[in-house]
Structure 1
Amino acid sequence: MELELATDAEAVATLSRLKPLLACRDGRPRSQALKIVWHDSPERGLLAEGMILAEHRGVQRLERVYPGAATWLPGQPVPVVAEAPDLAALPSPLAPLAAFEGRQTASVHQSGGRAVTVTVAKGILRSVTAERPAARIWLSGEEQAVGDIARLIAGAVPAGVPLTSLAADGVALATGRPAAARHGGAPELPTGPLSVADALMHILGHLIDVVLVNAPLAVRRDGDATEAVHQMRVAVRRARSAVSIFQGAFPGGALGPVNDALKHLSARLGPTRDWDVFAEETIPAIQQSLPEDDRLRRLIAAAERRRRESQAALAGYLESAAFRLLGVELAWLVSARFCHVASEVAADDAAGGSPIGAVPDAATGSVGSVPDRAASLAEFAGRVLQQRWKKLVSSGKQIDDLDIPSLHGVRLRAKRARYAAEMFATLYQGKASHRFIRRLSALQERLGVLNDGVAASHLLTQLGGPAGRHGYAVGLVTGFLAARAVRMRPRIVDAFERSRRQPAYWA
C-alpha cells in the first residue's frame, strides 16, 4: 500500500537524524531533483471539474485536485484520471498555474522483515506572484510495515495526514484563496456499481476527512471553533454508525480497531460540545427572561470558566502528537482495509467466487453468495434500513407516555435510521428518501431538546447542583428545562407520527 504524510521543512531535517528510522534503513538513500508543474486553461476549466494537468519529467497526467464524488481515501496518492496519449481532448490552450521545485530523497527501511520505501520531498511551491516552502512524505510497501513506519515518523515529528493535495496547495497559492476542504457534511456514495466493502471505505474516508479538516478550526477560540467541534463530533458519530451498520459484512473483529479509535476521539469531543450547547443555546434562552438576575449571571460565569477549561483541554489534545497519531492510524486502517479488500476481490474474481462484502443472511447472520456487487449493496442497504426503521417504530410505541430515558432511546434510533438513510440515499431515485431523512431530522432535533436538558443537568451537577453555592440559579435552570420538556412533548409526538406513516421506499 501507499500512504502520504504532510510535513514541513524543519520536520524533514529532523527526520534525516531520527535514530529509530536510521537504525532500520537498508542501504544508502537516493536523491534527485523534483519539479512538478500544474497547468490549466485561462478559464480554469479543469479546476471547475476538480482536476488539473500535472507535468513531471516530460510526462503529463490529468489528476484530481479534490475528491468530488469519487473515492479518494485520506493519505492516499492523488488519483490519476488519464495519462498521455489520452489527453487530446483537454481544453486548449493550457498554461502553467503553479509548480513545486526541490529535491526528493528515497530510502528503504525494514520493519518486521518487510521493506518500506520512504520518499521525502522538500522544496518550494511557486506561482506567478507568491511562493512558500512545502514538504511531503510518501511511504510504499506492505500494509503492516507501512503502518509501523508511518507511526514511527508521526510520533517523532509533526507529520500527519494531508488536509489537501500538493496540487491544491499550489492552486491556493496561485489564486490567493484557501484550498477547499476535501469533504464536508454527510457522505454520499458514488453512482455506479459498488461493493459493500467499497461503500464502507468511501463513507469512512469521507468522515475521517471531515474530522481532520475541522481539527485546526476547533483549536481557535472564535465562533468557528464551536461549529468545528460540532462537525467533528457529528462526523465521529456517523463513522461509528457506519461501522455498526457494516460490521456484519466483514470478518469478525475486522472493524474493531477503527471503532476503538473513533470511540476514543468521541470521548474527547463530548464534554466540550456539551458545554458549548449549554453556554450558547440553553443559557441565553433563560437569560432573556431574567436579564438582571445576579445569581444567574454568577452561574453563567462559572459555566463559562468550565467551558474554557474544556476547550483548552480539547485544543491541547488536538494539537498533540497523540491526535496526529490518531489521524494517521485512522487513515492507515481504512486504506489498509481498502487495499486488502481490493486484493481479495481480484483473487476472488480470478477464482470465480462470490464477492467480498456479500449480504449477511437475515435469519442466520451468515454471508451468502450474491453474484452482482451492485445488487449486493442495494440488498444490504434495504435490509439495514428496514431493520433500523423497525427498531425506531417499535421504540416509539405509546410515545405519549414514555419517560425521558425511553425518549432518549427513541432519539438514538431515529439518529441511527437517519444516518443509514443518508449513507444509502444515492441508491434510491425520487424524493422519498430525502423526505424520509428530513422527517427523521425533525424528530431527532425535537428529541434533542430533551437530551440537551439531560446533558445540562449533568453540567449543573458539576457546578455544585441545587445544594451548592449556585443552588438558586441551578433551580432556575432546572425549572426552565422541565417546562421546556413539557412544551416539546406534543411536537415530538407529531414528528414521530409523521415519520412513522412514511412508506418504506427501500422495499
Structure 2
Amino acid sequence: MAPAGSRGRTAGPLPRPARPPSRGDLSLTRFDATDAAAEPPAEPAPPADAAAQLSLEFALDPEAVQRLPRHPAITSARAGRARSLAEELIWMDSAEGVLAADGLALEVPRRGPRRLIRSMPPAEAPWCPGTPPALEEMEPTDENWVPIAAFSGRRSVMALGEVTAELLAGKLRAVAAEAPVARLLLTGPTEAVLARAAALAADIHMLPPAASLAEEGRALARGGPPRPRRRGPPPLSGAATVEAALLAALGHLLEVMLVHAPACRLGAGMEGVHQTRVALRRLRSVLKVFRPVASGPELVEFDDGLRAMAAALGPARDWDVFLAGTAAEAAAAIGGDRRLAALLRAGEARRQEAYAALRRLLDGPAFPRLVLAGIGLIQRRPWREGPPESLAPLEEPLPDFAAGVLDKRWHRLRKRGEDIAEHGAAALHEVRLDAKRLRYAAELFAPLWPGKPARRFLRRLSALQEELGLANDVAVARELAASLGTGVPGWAIGAVEGFASARASRARRHALESWDELLEAEPFWR
C-alpha cells in the first residue's frame, strides 16, 4: 500500500454531498455491543470469555487484496457468497481543521447517517492496535463543513463461521493526490478473531494500520505523513492499578513499533531503526518490570519474538552509528584518505546487508505474528489464569508497585557503580546496562510523581547513560572495524581504532562526572 502522504496523478475535485452537513442534523450513537472493542475501557474488565466480541482492523497491500478471497483461511470457512457493494466515504472538517485538532473527523458514507468518528485516540486513553475508530456523540451546531478527503471503492462482507470479514478496498483521494488503500475488519468472538487473523497473517502480510482511514485521508490532503497515535514512553498517570498500567504500556508500545517499522529501510534515514529499537527495548523492559505479577508461557513466547527482532535491528543500528559517528568523524579529522574511503565503502556494504536482513524479517510473517501475539496478550490477559490469590497483586495501586520496582533497580545500580573510577570497560558496560534498565522503568513511572525531582533525576540518569553509551559505541566501533577483514587496509582500521580510543577516554571522564551528579539527586519516588 502506498504511503498516505505519497503523491499520485491528479485526482480531481472531491465529490460533495447533496447538502452541506451540519452538526444540527446528525443522528449519532456510540458503538453497540458488537463494536465494544472500539474504545477500550479506562480500567481493565475481567478477561474476555470465548463469546466476547472483538473487532480487529488490518491494513493490506493491493497484492494481498487479490489473494485474500482465495486464501484457505477464507475458502475453508466461507458460508455463502460475499456481499459486495460500491462504497464512498467523505471526511469533512471546518476550514480551520477544528475537528482534526481534537482527533475527530465527520464521516459521510454513501449510505446511512453521517457520523462523527474518533480518528485519533485521546492521548491518555488505553489503546490496542487494530482498534477500529469509535463513534462519538455530537452537540448540535449550525457550523458548515468542507470535504477534506474521500474514499472510493468497494465494501465486501464475508461470513467465515463465527467471524465476519469486511474488506474495504479502493483509493483515498484528495484534491491533488490519490493512493490505493485496503482495510480488513474481522469481527466475532475474541478467540475466533485472533485465530482467523493468525491463519491469514501466516502468508498474507497484514498489520494493524498505524492510522485510521480518516487520518490517512487528512495526511494525503496535506501532503505529509499521518500523525502518530502514540510516541515515546507510555503515559501511565491515568492507570490506577498494576494491570491497567501493563495493558496500557503494551498497547502503547506496540503502536509505537508499528508507526516506526515502515521506515526501517535504506534511504529512509536512521530514525526508523532507532525508534523501533527503542520501542522494542521498552516493551521488553515492561515485560520484566511486571513479571512478578504477570508471567506465563505466552509472555515468554512474546519476549522470545521481541528478542529475535532485536537481533535483526541491532546490526542495522550498529552500522548506522559507526558510519555516521566514529568512522565519519575519523575520516573528517584525517582528511580525504583513500584507505579510509575504502573502509567506509566496506562498512556501507555491511550496513546494506543488515538492512536487507531486517527488511526481510519485517516483510515476512514473523513481524505480523509478533504484533498479533502482543494483541493477544492484551485481549486474553493470560496472567489471570492462575489461582485467585495470585490475582490480588494485579489490583495493587500502581504507585506502591512502581516504587518497589524503582527501589530495587536503583539499589542495584548503586551497588554496581561502587568504586566506579576503578572500573574497566567490561564493568562500565554492566553499569550502563543497569542504568538503562533503571531509566526505562523511571520513564515508565515518572508520570506518577510529576514535578522537578522526577525531571532532575531522569535528566541526570539520561546523561549517565548517554556517556556510558558513547563509551560502548566506541567498543562496538572497534569490533565493526576489525570485522571488515583483509579487504580493508589495516592502516584505516588502526586509524579508526585510535580515533575511537581517544573518544573513549573523553566519554569515560564525562561518565564519572555524570555518576557523581546522579548520586546527588534524590529518588523522586520516595
Regarding TM over 0.5, the answer is yes
Match of 1:216 among 262, 284, 291: 262
Aligned residues between the structures? 470
Match of 1:49 among 102, 112, 120: 102
Distance (whole Å) between structure 2 residues aligned to residue 342 and residue 226 of structure 1:
36
Unpaired segments ≥5 residues, structure 1: 360-366, 371-375
- What CA RMSD, in Å, does the superposition of the two structures yield over aligned residues? 2.9
Distance (whole Å) between structure 2 residues aligned to residue 460 and residue 302 of structure 1:
10
Aligned to 1:118, the other structure's residue is in SS state strand
Q: 1:16 Cα shift?
A: 1.4
The answer to whether the Cα contact below 8 Å between 2:312 and 2:354 also exists between their aligned partners in 1 is: no
- Which string of whole-angstrom CA distances, capped at 9 and with x for unpartnered residues, describes residues 90-142 of structure 1? 682334433334432222324xxxx2221112234344555444321011233
Aligned to 1:229, the other structure's residue is in SS state helix
Look up the match of 1:136: 183
Letter in 2 for 1:494: E
- Structure 1 pair 79–333 and aligned structure 2 pair: CA distance change class (3 A): farther
Match of 1:74 among 93, 105, 129: 129
Q: 1:176 Cα shift?
A: 3.5
Between the aligned residues of both structures, percent identity stands at 40
TM-score by length of 2: 0.81
Aligned to 2:159, the other structure's residue is in SS state strand
Match of 2:224 among 174, 177, 202: 177
- Structure 1 pair 321–386 and aligned structure 2 pair: CA distance change class (3 A): same
Letter in 1 for 2:126: T
Distance (whole Å) between structure 1 residues aligned to residue 66 and residue 140 of structure 2:
42
Does 1:473 pair with 2:492?
Answer: yes
Look up the match of 1:62: 116
- Structure 1 pair 308–64 and aligned structure 2 pair: CA distance change class (3 A): same
Distance (whole Å) between structure 2 residues aligned to residue 269 and residue 209 of structure 1:
17
Match of 2:470 among 430, 449, 459: 449
Match of 1:282 among 326, 332, 352: 326
The answer to whether the Cα contact below 8 Å between 2:81 and 2:158 also exists between their aligned partners in 1 is: yes
Letter in 2 for 1:108: A
Distance (whole Å) between structure 2 residues aligned to residue 486 and residue 177 of structure 1:
43
Q: Which has the higher contact order (CA 8 A, sep 6+)?
A: 2
What does 1:39-438 correspond to in 2, within 5 Å?
39-56=92-109, 57-69=111-123, 70-80=125-135, 82-83=136-137, 87-88=138-139, 92-110=143-161, 115-127=162-174, 130-189=177-236, 191-221=237-267, 224-318=268-362, 320-322=363-365, 325-326=366-367, 328-341=368-381, 358-359=392-393, 370=396, 376-438=397-459
The answer to whether the Cα contact below 8 Å between 1:73 and 1:331 also exists between their aligned partners in 2 is: no
Unpaired segments ≥5 residues, structure 2: 1-53
- Which string of whole-angstrom CA distances, capped at 9 and with x for unpartnered residues, describes residues 447-469 of structure 1? 0111112212221331228xx86
Which deviates further from its counterpart, 390-399 or 173-182? 173-182
Which deviates further from its counterpart, 264-273 or 10-19? 10-19
Letter in 1 for 2:418: K
Distance (whole Å) between structure 2 residues aligned to residue 286 and residue 33 of structure 1:
60
Look up the match of 2:511: 492
- Structure 1 pair 19–258 and aligned structure 2 pair: CA distance change class (3 A): closer
Distance (whole Å) between structure 1 residues aligned to residue 206 and residue 472 of structure 2:
39
Distance (whole Å) between structure 2 residues aligned to residue 144 and residue 424 of structure 1:
32
Which deviates further from its counterpart, 89-98 or 472-481? 89-98
- Structure 1 pair 443–343 and aligned structure 2 pair: CA distance change class (3 A): closer
The answer to whether the Cα contact below 8 Å between 2:342 and 2:488 also exists between their aligned partners in 1 is: no
Letter in 1 for 2:144: P
Distance (whole Å) between structure 1 residues aligned to residue 115 and residue 383 of structure 2:
25
Letter in 2 for 1:487: R
The answer to whether the Cα contact below 8 Å between 2:298 and 2:382 also exists between their aligned partners in 1 is: no
Look up the match of 1:362: none
Aligned to 1:441, the other structure's residue is in SS state helix
